[in-house]
Amino acid sequence: MENALQKVDGEQPAGMQRRSLLKACGLGIGAGAALLAGCTKRETPAVGAGPAGAAAGSLLDKWLKTKKAVLGFEFGSPPMQFRDSTTKQPTGYTVELVKAMFHDLSPDITVEFVEMPFGQLVAAVQSRKVDMIEPITNLPSRALNGWFTAFPAAYHSVFCLVNKDSKLKSADDLNKLGVKFALLQGTSQEAVAKVTFPNAQILAFPGVPEALNEVGSGRADATIQSLYTAINAIRNGQPLKVLGSDPLYVDSASFYIPEGDIRTLTWMNNWLSYSAAHGSMQTLWEKWVVNDAKKYNLPSVAVGAGGGLIKTS
């Protein structure tokens, strides 16, 4: 039986080798790394237990019983997740992906999106304000108090952006005293920059626009941003350019749920694996991301069978 996403016709293209990964970034792109990070804990809590109260069973059972799922999302990252300019309704790659997943779980489940700033997403899961959140990078530090799906929901090529008039030639020029990075606070990009460019100064900002403006104005030398942010910045006329032709590295983004919920985690991993093997995730990626990536000559990769990377631009 096919799932709710359209199956790809024909063969999938071969996966792309992950070139230009910085050794110091320390991000495990293999899907199994996320599961190991999430399950290595001092003590496994009762399923459903948390700040909200006593054990209440799995989220999966809750969703099937109440016919409602409450998800934390930020909607400022087109084409991944944003609000349609006409309908004002949530849309984008991750929105369609999560709706398809819940449709396959039970067609009568209503998905309620709770909009919040990116920096509040992880805490919202840990405090049980929401059931789960949009796919985010599976940082080991985040896995200390929550569980990531072992199977990725998306791969994000990550680029270094500099001022369009910058004299910097490559990433090797960035790890120097006096170089300033402007980054979104609490992101994997901030974590990677601190390890990869220890000699540079890291400036953290509450929003992506502030970080981009710092570089565009010349007050900072560089910023590290995902593919879709780089595309949006260039398309919107920001005085920025991509440093080099290859990604700085590739991030693995996974759904994030409260720790201890093995039943829900197992079902979600199975659904993601099945959808990727049948080409559904690649089809969705091509619908929302690939055309713009090709337009701006930026490499992108989709999630393929077994969690492999499929070159799409």
Residue 142 sits in a domain whose CATH number is 3.40.190.10
Average pLDDT for consecutive 10-residue bins of the chain (313 residues)?
Answer: 48 39 39 38 43 63 98 96 97 98 98 95 97 96 96 97 95 95 92 96 93 97 96 94 93 97 98 98 97 94 97 94
Q: Domain residues for 216? A: 157-242
Q: Are residues 208 and 63 in the same domain?
A: no
Tokens 């997403």 sit at which residue?
121
Overall domain count for the chain = 2
Q: Are residues 149 and 272 in the same domain?
A: yes
pLDDT of residue 119: 87
pLDDT of residue 39: 40
Q: Are residues 233 and 267 in the same domain?
A: no
Q: Of 191, 220, 242, which marks where a domain is finished?
A: 242
- The two tokens of residue 181 are 């990075």
Q: Computed over its alpha carbons, how large is the radius of gyration of the chain? A: 19
pLDDT of residue 186: 85
Residue 10 lies in a domain: no
pLDDT of residue 245: 85
Ramachandran area for residue 274 (φ above 0: left; ψ -120 to 50: alpha; else beta): alpha
